Structure 1
Amino acid sequence: MLVDSHCHLDAAEFDADRDAVVARARAAGVTAQVVPAIALSGFGKLRALCAGRHADLHAAYGLHPMYLAEHRPPHLDALREWLERERPVAVGECGLDFFVEGLDAEEQRRYFVAQLQLAREFDLPAIIHARRAVDEVIATIRRVGGLRGVVHSFAGSAEQARQLWNLGFLVGLGGPVTYGRAHRLRALVATMPLDYLLLETDAPDQPLATHRGERNEPSYLGEVAATIAALRGIDAGELARATGANARRLFALGAP
């Protein structure tokens, strides 16, 4: 019942062995993967990947803040056309990144708000990137209103998580929680309501503690589940079922 709620399987790092990566994920019990776009230039490749023989891969379309240099205002019009035509499972990856230097904050905000408005218009969940920007992301979600979705690779406080839950958002957690030094994150997952948790890998990025320095891949999701289950003192299968059901409900994936 594992669902990888955030995996960039369309990335070039997987071009040489993508089918084998998908096969390993399935063998490891990953029954579905949500694959969010990062820029308009990759929409076609993503569609071909998810519309082909990999029926367990589900596309989301959006404009990632870290790739701001690639985005142009007409790309928002193109995104609207893709959402209307393709009916993806979500809008994203979108959001704010105040960690990377050189990214214009105001321009990021314009693209983020526009994409949240599209998510509301098309009644789709939003997949949100929030790095050193959680408070502003929360305020923007509240201001736009009428939204649901997930803040992926969540690294905020318990209070910020509660605010997101109250706004109808889940938090996505992956490789970082497997590191012993991630005290705040591990404390959060040990006690948070399971209804608001999604599992993710963010592959090929954010490798687990047991795979540091390696390419990350969705077959490792079970290790994330096992880590969180141990922190909560529950069976890993129970955690997989609960978080898988959360993902299928949020993204309207249907039964495996």
Structure 2
Amino acid sequence: MLIDSHAHLDDPRFDVDRDDVLQRAWDAGVRKILTIGNGSGPDQMGCGIPIAEAHEWIYTSVGVHPHDASQVEERHYCLIEKLSENLRVIAVGETGLDYFYDNSPRDVQREVFRQQLRLAKKLGLPVIVHTRDADEDTERILREEAPPLGVIHCFTSSARLADFALGIGFSISFSGIVTFPKSQPLAEIARRIPLDRILVETDCPYLAPVPHRGKRNEPVYVADTARFVAALRDISVDELAG
């Protein structure tokens, strides 16, 4: 059974053919999708709920992306709590730190990240972590806040961060980036992550894997990433999927 552990099915690029996109994924053996509840900002973090409610094999999360951290008001933390009452909501996020784009001030990103980690702990939900060019602060905040469960999504960080994440009980999720020719160091990390801690994702509509690179990504392509990671480890896709 294939699972796309991170998708953005609410993205406007799917508006013209969302049903067809989901049908292609189902036909290819994708049986679970987690569509991320960030939307275009904190007020839209419930964007995945209607999609998840319409499809029993799709789930969603709620949270604030680090790009949008500067827009957060106290009411948005209350909104996370309220939306998480919906049974289709199974995680908080994605949240984290992005020091590559710095769309929000770094101190604001750190505080909003902390608050969402605390909410995840309070709600008993896993957290979906985004980190880019911010390994040191990501590790420090995760160590200090100690969320009970989570995943580093679209992993492109160091072996050190991977080892730290595994040590606190997190999983590691690989996107199509792992299939890119220049991602050999990332492939080496994917080769050694314990099978029960490795996830694959599309992060669609972004980051389509080889051989679809440059196209709009969609959940059906998670199969390509799964095949690539399975080949790295010299196992079958079925073994990878568990």
Corresponding letter in the other structure for 1:51? E
Distance 2:165 2:102 in 1: 26
Distance 2:43 2:87 in 1: 16
1:55 aligns with 2:49: no
Distance 1:80 1:133 in 2: 27
What are the within-5 Å matches in structure 2 for residues 232-251 of structure 1? Answer: 232-240=233-241, 242=242
- Structure 1, gaps ≥5 residues long: 243-256
* Partner in structure 2 of residue 174 of structure 1: 175
3-state DSSP of counterpart to 1:188 = helix
Q: 1:102 to 1:125 in 2, by over 3 A?
A: closer
3-state DSSP of counterpart to 1:6 = strand
What are the within-5 Å matches in structure 2 for residues 190-209 of structure 1? Answer: 190-209=191-210
3-state DSSP of counterpart to 1:177 = helix
What are the within-5 Å matches in structure 2 for residues 41-52 of structure 1? Answer: 41-52=43-54
* Percent pairwise identity: 36
* Partner in structure 1 of residue 184 of structure 2: 183
3-state DSSP of counterpart to 1:230 = helix
* Partner in structure 2 of residue 210 of structure 1: 211
Corresponding letter in the other structure for 1:10? D
Shift of 1:66: 1.4
1:123-182 CA-partner distances (Å, limit 9, x unpaired): 100001001112211211110124210010111122221111111111110100111210
1:186-234 CA-partner distances (Å, limit 9, x unpaired): 1111222112111100000111121121100000111101101111111
Shift of 1:85: 4.8
What are the within-5 Å matches in structure 2 for residues 63-74 of structure 1? Answer: 63-74=64-75
Q: Is the 8 A contact 1:150 1:171 kept in 2?
A: yes
* Partner in structure 2 of residue 35 of structure 1: 35
- Structure 2, gaps ≥5 residues long: none
Q: Is the 8 A contact 1:8 1:202 kept in 2?
A: yes
Shift of 1:70: 3.9
Corresponding letter in the other structure for 1:93? E
Shift of 1:68: 3.0
Q: Is the 8 A contact 2:63 2:93 kept in 1?
A: yes
1:125 aligns with 2:123: no
Distance 2:181 2:25 in 1: 25
Distance 2:122 2:46 in 1: 23
1:13-47 CA-partner distances (Å, limit 9, x unpaired): 11110000000000111000011111333244321
Q: Is the 8 A contact 1:32 1:57 kept in 2?
A: yes
Distance 1:14 1:85 in 2: 24
Q: Is the 8 A contact 2:127 2:147 kept in 1?
A: no
Q: Is the 8 A contact 1:37 1:64 kept in 2?
A: no
Determine which structure has greater relative contact order: mean sequence separation of CA pairs < 8 Å that are 6+ residues apart, divided by chain length: 1
Greater share of helix: 1
Query: Paired residues, what number?
Result: 240
Shift of 1:64: 0.5
How large is the Cα RMSD of the aligned pairs? 1.5
Q: Is the 8 A contact 1:96 1:108 kept in 2?
A: yes
Provide TM-score, normalisation by structure 2: 0.94
Q: Which moved more, 1:35-44 or 1:171-180?
A: 35-44
